[in-house]
Amino acid sequence: MKILVMVKQVPDTATRIRVAEGNASIVTDGIKWVINPYDEFAIEEALRIKERLGGEVVVVSAGPQRVEEAIRQTLAMGADRGVHIKTDEALDSHVVAQALAAVARAENFDLILTGKQAVDDDAAQVGPLVAVFLDVPQVTVVLKLEVDAEHQRLVAERELEGSIEVVELPYPAVITAQRGLNEPRYPTLPNIMKAKKKEVRVESLQALGIVPNVKVRTVSLSEPPERPAAKILTGDPVAAAHQLVELLHAEAKVI
């Protein structure tokens, strides 16, 4: 089974984000970059399917030179090869999805996996857009995935508010992974060494036939307002309770 995993490199969630001059981007100096956490579930699921059914796992990512580090990490986890769509341009979800779909279309993958969303922009658009460009079925926010290779069918359980939906569909298809789908593995030292020799093919937008036509641009970024200092009530419990009720009524206006 031939599986494509689409990954994005994002700032570590523990990184302190600062808005750059001009308020249209962030300061990238000193940021620790990591694989998008939801994409790690997609990688792990692809590897588990390969271990059961055989085949190949290919990882694709778009971005500047530093993105190769993320691809190499997936190769150390067990992926077979990578494709780096190298670009320094700021692209929106639409253009990125066009480029990823072009890679997928060229190699006729049976299954395409990615995270349900990226933690930097929370757009949750790339996976569904790729499915649209490829004209294949999709299921998002998947918690469990079964593959019936004999009949080329998938059974996916997806999260809805307060319930679980079970979807059966043919493949090729696009699946976006939710936390809980699996527990991603850590790269082993032997696999880290092997990853250095695995193929990472570099592509350009031009070679893929993609003309960047960004439809969504960042107009302005701002840091969240500072939270006011907390009020701590001390002294007699009864008096403190009366004071708390007064504050909730007069200031918080919740009662």
pLDDT by residue (tens digit) across 192-202?
A: 999 999 999 99
| Confidence tier at 254 by pLDDT (50, 70, 90) | confident
- For residues 110 and 217, the model is more confident at 110
Tell me what the mean pLDDT of segment 54-72 comes to.
96
pLDDT at residue 56, rounded to an integer: 97
Say if residue 18's pLDDT is above 90: no
What are the angstrom distances between the C-alpha of 177 and each of 118, 137, 142, 143, 230? 11, 15, 5, 7, 38
> What are the b/e assignments for 212-221, b being 16+ CB within 10 Å?
beeeeeeeee
Say if residue 29's pLDDT is above 90: no
Tell me what the mean pLDDT of segment 21-46 comes to.
90
pLDDT in tens, 122-151: 899 999 999 999 999 999 999 999 999 999
Identify residue 112 by its one-letter amino acid code.
Answer: I
| Confidence tier at 17 by pLDDT (50, 70, 90) | confident
pLDDT at residue 89, rounded to an integer: 87
Say if residue 220's pLDDT is above 90: no
Q: Mean pLDDT for the chain?
A: 92
DSSP state letter for 171 = S
Domains, the chain, ranges and CATH?
2-203 (3.40.50.620), 226-255 (no CATH)
Distance between CA atoms of 145 and 112, rounded to whole angstroms?
13
pLDDT at residue 24, rounded to an integer: 79
| Confidence tier at 75 by pLDDT (50, 70, 90) | very high
Q: Is there a contact between 207 and 99 (Cβ–Cβ < 8 Å)?
A: no
